[in-house]
Structure 1
């Protein structure tokens, strides 16, 4: 079938979904609805939309209208036989009217409360998939056609086959207060922790991009591509997967395990996906985390069986190919 994938550009995951759809024999066109067109386009977007919002003089409405118009035009151009939408909360009626009557499904990778979606709006867009188990229960209770669909690992994005091991505990991701607290605690306990991303970096360009002057007191590197992040996680003594106020499991849950990293995850309910102690290392207290870090850094060979088991489980159950099969089976229930 001709499938149109309509997605935000978030870390390029749309390319992973498109590749999985293509592997199932579909002809895939992708529209990235928040793509602002290279360096010049991104700069203009900052000036026109982000800066006014920073100073309290702008709103999302104009941006949403522009994104909606472009997405609707993409539907007309692609003439799809099915549509897969990722998130899509900023897209307005013009777009949803354009896909009306087509087999479609929308995959939410955030809790509904973190988006512009409401139950009433979601009721009119067709079948839903959500990474949040709790949202899935609420959506079904509201009479919506919903299914729980966790995130995934892109096995086609190949990391280095023999990563050079680094004696560090890595974290790749955005900087939130709870995450900074955890990394600062590890640093204060002598754990060789290192964070990666623009929110952590002390580079002047990254400070400018994140509208800040200071920088955390944690060793840090700059942004990584997904392939680079895969290499960092696989080569580290261990890598952190920190959730905070989320009930869905992050993409990192599957990526860290998929590349054969030692994953330190802050949720014991990961047991629905991986076996704690055998495939991932779950912790509930700071003391547990420090002890685990000390062990994996001090005895690298101890975690080798865990690395192999985590990767094997991921390739068997948690790739984008597995998730796309669920999307495909659901989009014909409009």
Structure 2
């Protein structure tokens, strides 16, 4: 279990024994968050339709009497049979281009109707509510690095707009609902995050490169490989979630991500070095509206939450590669078919 050290004193005490809801709770991030909250003695309800979430992500908690898994689509009104919640974390939404573009209308509705259902439940329960937004709201940015006050450069009718614009709308809805209905809202803009429990078929660059390297397949680099991303290890991100939820940093979004910036070419060579793979690198056309540069300005998180990432890219990749290597050894057919 992850240990969390909080550097700031302006936090409300961690809740113990409270009912907490995580929408998208069986997903990559939701399951790691559930680990933390259950370890504190909370009763965690993970609500998921299992479109991209996996029951196996919660296997560590399967014998815990403090975890309840509810199969439900967040675009439908939340069940009345659920208990009253003290906190709600809204993490429900496909987050990789492969998944969110597979059904763009559904993605848009999750960020509209799903967000509405979460907010109505938070209002009814008097719950503090946390919304997971994304760095994708900055689009292909014209300001670098990206601070929270930057409004972004987003194509409203492109192949990524169901997610980019959906998340932008959700931020507006959470902001205005909080102000007009008296609901306590916390919002985070998540930059590229990686680690154990990523799906092998999610199309994200870390999982792509790691699976390809471990299988001896060519590593697919899009464009000339000069586009950049900043990679945050999942433990660091979840620690940031916790700090923000317990803080008094209200209303406005907070960037969470690792400000270390790497080109895709650099990442590919680092994965090859760590795995010892001799896979070649092949180049494919750059996807439409793919951001050229991405790096968070985390001044706000650092100053107000005392948060900075602690896990280096090399350290995080070692853990992620170990996880995927174990998955390939445990169920190779499933991992390979998912990655194809």
TM above 0.5, yes or no, is no
TM-score range, shorter-chain basis?
0.3 to 0.5
Bigger Rg, which one: 1
TM-score (norm 1): 0.36
TM-score (norm 2): 0.36
